[in-house]
Amino acid sequence: MYATKADLVARFGENVLNLALMFPADAPDPLETALQDACEEVDGYLAVRYPLPLPNVPNNLKRIVCEIARYKLYFEEAPEATEVRYRMAIDFLKGIRDGKNSLAILDTSNQISDDQPKGRPSTAPVGTSYTGGVFGDSILDQMPSMK
């Protein structure tokens, strides 16, 4: 899990506990369920770019999971501000999936990992020329061969 019930309460206050009261008494813990659902949704985006499980949880990922979990607690009656924050979190995750955003994941020696995803070219430093082709490997793999 990328976030806990304590993280939810710390971020949104005791109000988030009131959302859990709307569920039937015999239902599994709604906060845990919402957090689990949020983590699984996040993993769907992260798995494209990062090996799972992550070695540690960056603060921005914890925030995103809390935003998604809170949205899920509302069902279909989320206030507009909560829905906007949910959509912003999903947009950020899409950016991670597409390589436009990244997470500051620490490796085992507490250094920020600068690993490039497999199959993607690294960027060229300023002042140098890129000598690669116009199309990336993913596009070239889709083109028919001329054998």
pLDDT digit string (tens) for 84-120? 999 999 999 999 999 999 888 766 554 555 454 444 4
Angstrom distance (rounded) from CA 73 to CA 34: 6
Contact (CB, 8 A) for 19 and 78 = no
User: What distance in Å separates the CA atoms of residue 104 and residue 78, rounded to the nearest whole number?
Assistant: 30
Give percent above pLDDT 70 in the chain: 76
What's the 3-state SS for the chain? Answer: CCCCHHHHHHHHCCHHHHHHCCCCCCCCCHHHHHHHHHHHHHHHHHCCCCCCCCCCCCHHHHHHHHHHHHHHHCCCCCCHHHHHHHHHHHHHHHHHHCCCCCCCCECCCCCECCCCCCCCCCCCCCCCCCCCCCCCHHHHHHCCCCC
- Does residue 33 surpass a pLDDT of 80? yes
**Mean residue pLDDT across the chain:** 81
Domain borders along the chain are: 5-114
- 58 three-class SS: coil
Q: How confident is the model at residue 65 (pLDDT cuts 50, 70, 90)?
A: very high
- Mean pLDDT calculated for residue range 45-69: 92
